[in-house]
């Protein structure tokens, strides 16, 4: 059978399977990628709270695993091409990602009245002056998590103030028989190495300005000293033996479990990791600790949102999106997810632990510079293309002419094609 015929049959089967999930009246057909640890607990609690408020509705959820939502976004595009969009779906909140979907989305400015969030958060979701997504949670991406028992055993003073101090700490941890830094980039999740790279850039001089220009397609990577220095730092971390040898076989949450089970000391990941740790029975500032990546004063922001596809006019979808703008919805979801509520008037006391409140304080502090992460600021293609770039870089982590040429070519593919 010819390949074209096989592909046609597969597409037809996919379209039929998606059609079978079409929502009926008063049903909310929703797609999301929250399937691990605290994030699953959080979305389940949010669905339950929504149904308590609207008992006449029914939720038909379709969770699609895979960190960052790459697999789910592919399925959504297939559904849209088949003329059968869901009522709503999750995407990363940010100008680059949202702009990649605006051709199939409806503006929802009328559903976001009295949405008390910082101005820059509103700006993150605007494309051509219109809002397309309701941000449900705000997270800090450039976090360094640490296993307190290992840190105390090895005798490392926290917080760590620079990348140089981080090297010293990793060397002590390695000599003590532990993995210094847990990394997971399996199942096509090479972009998590990109998250580590982003955190390194955020700790270098002018890191915020460089990241903003980098994600806007305004630099030549090989000619930017900060971006090249960060790549060299990434190579040093690998070549010094500071990460787990099985990084390419682990997903982000499996890598996080290396810290949770006392096998690794550090983990660089957003504060959704806190939900994973909490769901594993660990306690904040007792079993694990947090600081921004050593040397960084930036808040690298990452957020998730839900959107309204074109062709969807159901009241249940509009009620869902309106509900997500409330402090009630954020307060149900964010403490379990390990995230900060976007609303500035969302309650704090007695709801969030000390680490969550510290991160929330940075988010609400107008003096802290906030920038968008790799998941929201650049176009959608950045994640897949640079996921491949960073995965290949870790096969032979050396910053040479060939590496820098590949860096530039990958960057051009994201922003010029």
Query: CB neighbours of 225 closer than 8 A, spacing ≥ 6?
Result: none
pLDDT at 224: 98
E-only strand ranges, 191-310: 264-268, 288-292, 299-307
Neighbours of 245 (CB within 10 A): 8
Q: Could you tell me the pTM of the whole model? A: 0.88
pLDDT tens-digit readout, 337-371? 889 999 999 999 999 999 999 999 999 999 999 99
| Residue 417 pLDDT grade (very low, low, confident, very high; cuts 50, 70, 90) | low
Cα separations (Å) of 154 from 61, 240, 273, 274, 288? 45, 18, 23, 23, 15
Q: CA 358, CA 362: separation in Å to the nearest integer? A: 7
* Helix, coil or strand: residue 275: helix
pLDDT at 19: 38
Q: CA 376, CA 91: separation in Å to the nearest integer? A: 9
Helix and strand numbers (H, E) in the chain are: 17, 12
E-only strand ranges, 6-93: 27-32, 58-63, 88-93
pLDDT at 67: 56
pLDDT tens-digit readout, 137-172? 999 999 999 999 999 999 999 999 999 999 999 999
Q: CA 57, CA 25: separation in Å to the nearest integer? A: 9
Least confident segment among 10-24, 199-213, 332-346: 10-24
Least confident segment among 69-73, 180-184, 202-206, 308-312: 69-73
Neighbours of 183 (CB within 10 A): 28
Longest dimension (CA), the chain: 64
Cα separations (Å) of 378 from 12, 76, 96, 306? 32, 20, 4, 18
Q: CA 134, CA 336: separation in Å to the nearest integer? A: 19
pLDDT tens-digit readout, 275-329? 889 889 999 999 999 999 999 999 999 999 999 999 899 999 999 999 999 999 9
- CA torsion sign for 146, 149, 151, 152 is positive
The domains located in the chain, with CATH, are: 3-139+303-361 (3.40.190.10), 143-297+379-416 (3.40.190.10)
pLDDT tens-digit readout, 242-262? 999 999 999 999 999 999 999
In contact, 266 and 138? CB cutoff 8 Å: no
- Name the average pLDDT for the chain: 91
pLDDT at 10: 36
Phi and psi at residue 356, in whole multiples of 5°?
-60, -40
Summarize the confidence of residues 228-237 as an average pLDDT. 98
- CA torsion sign for 310, 312, 315, 320 is negative
Strand-pair partners of 340 = 138
Query: CB neighbours of 406 closer than 8 A, spacing ≥ 6?
Result: 389, 392
Q: CA 228, CA 297: separation in Å to the nearest integer? A: 20
Phi and psi at residue 149, in whole multiples of 5°?
-65, -45
Q: What percent of the chain has pLDDT over 70?
A: 94
pLDDT at 302: 94
Q: Which of 36, 38, 135 is nearest to 336 (CA)?
A: 38
Summarize the confidence of residues 206-217 as an average pLDDT. 97
pLDDT at 13: 38
| Residue 81 pLDDT grade (very low, low, confident, very high; cuts 50, 70, 90) | confident
Q: CA 52, CA 316: separation in Å to the nearest integer? A: 14
Alpha helix (H) residue ranges in 55-99: 70-81, 95-99
Residue 5 has pLDDT above 60, yes or no: no
Q: Please count the CA atoms within 13 angstroms of the CA of 63 that sit on its side-chain side.
A: 14
Q: Which of 388, 374, 412, 408 is nearest to 215 (CA)?
A: 374
Q: CA 250, CA 256: separation in Å to the nearest integer? A: 9
């Amino acid at each position: 059978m010819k390949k074209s015929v096989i592909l046609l049959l597969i597409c037809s089967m996919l379209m039929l399977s998606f059609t079978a999930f079409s929502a009926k009246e008063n049903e909310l057909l929703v797609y999301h990628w929250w399937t691990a640890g605290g994030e699953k607990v959080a979305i389940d609690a949010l669905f339950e709270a929504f149904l308590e408020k609207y008992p006449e509705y029914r939720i038909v959820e379709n969770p699609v695993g895979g960190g960052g939502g790459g697999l789910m976004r592919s399925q959504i595009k297939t559904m849209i091409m088949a003329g059968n969009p869901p009522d709503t779906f999750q995407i990363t909140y940010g100008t680059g990602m949202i702009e990649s979907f605006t051709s199939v989305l409806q503006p929802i400015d009328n559903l976001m009245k009295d949405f008390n969030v910082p101005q820059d958060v509103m700006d993150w979701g605007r494309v051509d002056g219109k809002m397309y997504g309701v941000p449900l949670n705000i997270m800090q991406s450039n976090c360094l998590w640490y296993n307190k028992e290992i840190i105390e055993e090895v005798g490392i003073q926290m917080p760590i103030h620079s990348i140089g101090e981080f090297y010293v700490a990793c060397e002590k941890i390695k000599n003590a028989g532990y993995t210094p830094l847990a990394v997971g980039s399996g199942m096509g999740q090479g972009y998590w190495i990109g998250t580590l790279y982003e955190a390194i850039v955020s700790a270098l001089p002018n890191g915020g300005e460089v990241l903003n220009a980098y994600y806007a397609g305004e630099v030549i990577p090989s000619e930017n000293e900060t971006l090249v220095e960060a790549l060299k730092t990434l190579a040093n971390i690998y070549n010094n033996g500071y990460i787990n040898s099985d990084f390419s076989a682990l997903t982000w949450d499996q890598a996080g479990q290396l810290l949770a089970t006392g096998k690794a000391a550090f983990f660089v990941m957003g504060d959704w990791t806190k939900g994973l740790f909490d769901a594993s029975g660990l306690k904040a500032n007792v079993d694990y600790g947090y600081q921004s990546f050593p040397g960084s004063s930036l808040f690298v922001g990452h957020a998730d949102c839900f959107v309204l596809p074109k062709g969807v006019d159901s009241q249940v979808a509009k009620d869902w999106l309106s509900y997500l703008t409330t402090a009630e919805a954020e307060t149900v979801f964010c403490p379990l997810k390990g995230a900060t509520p976007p609303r500035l008037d969302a309650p704090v006391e007695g709801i969030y632990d000390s680490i969550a409140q510290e991160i929330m304080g940075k988010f609400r502090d107008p003096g802290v510079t906030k920038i968008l992460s790799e998941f929201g600021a650049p176009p959608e293609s950045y994640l897949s293309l640079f996921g491949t770039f960073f995965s290949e870089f870790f096969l032979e982590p050396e910053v040479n002419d060939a590496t820098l040429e590949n860096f530039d070519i990958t960057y051009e593919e994201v922003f010029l094609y």
